[in-house]
Amino acid sequence: MTLSTIEIYKLLPKTNCKECRTQTCFAFAALMFKGEREISECPYVGKEVVDLFKGTAKKVNTVEEDREKFLESLRHRVTQTDLASRAKPTGGIYANNRLTIKIMGKDFSVDSTGKLFSDIHVNPWVAGPFLTYVLETKGVPATGTWVPLRELEGGKDWARLFGQMCEKPLKQVADTYPDLFADMIALFNGKPVDNHYQSDISLVLHPLPYLPMLICYWKPEEELSSELNLFFDQNAEENLNIDRIYTLSTGLVTMFEKIGLKHGVATPCPTD
Ligand code: SF4
Verify that 36 and 83 share a domain, yes or no. Answer: no
The pLDDT value given to residue 145: 94
End position of a domain, from candidates 100, 117, 136: 136
Distance, CA of 40 to CA of 57 (rounded, Å): 10
In a domain, 270, yes or no: no
CB 14 within 8 A of CB 22: no
Per-residue pLDDT of the chain (272 residues; tens, 9 = 90+): 567 888 888 899 989 888 888 888 988 988 888 777 889 889 999 888 888 887 655 555 566 777 788 899 999 999 999 999 999 999 999 999 999 999 888 899 999 999 999 877 777 778 999 999 999 999 999 999 999 999 999 888 888 889 988 999 999 888 888 778 887 777 888 888 887 778 888 999 999 999 999 999 998 888 889 999 999 999 999 999 998 999 899 888 888 888 777 755 444 444 43
**What is the number of the ligand 1 atom nearest to the C-alpha of 12?**
7
Residue 253 CA, ligand 1 centroid: distance in Å: 27
Distance, CA of 155 to CA of 147 (rounded, Å): 10
Domain span at residue 90 reads 63-136
The pLDDT value given to residue 268: 43
End position of a domain, from candidates 87, 107, 136: 136
The pLDDT value given to residue 179: 79
The pLDDT value given to residue 1: 56
The pLDDT value given to residue 60: 52
Beta-ladder partners of 211: 208
The pLDDT value given to residue 272: 37
CATH code of the domain containing 11: 1.10.15.40
**What is the number of the ligand 1 atom nearest to the C-alpha of 15?**
3
The pLDDT value given to residue 265: 41
46 C-beta closer than 6 A to ligand 1: no
42 C-beta closer than 6 A to ligand 1: yes
Query: Whole-prediction pTM value?
Result: 0.73
Q: In sequence order, which residues have a C-beta less than 8 Å from that of residue 122 and are 6 or more positions away?
A: 108, 116
Distance, CA of 5 to CA of 59 (rounded, Å): 12
**What is the number of the ligand 1 atom nearest to the C-alpha of 24?**
5
Distance, CA of 191 to CA of 196 (rounded, Å): 13
CATH code of the domain containing 150: 3.30.310
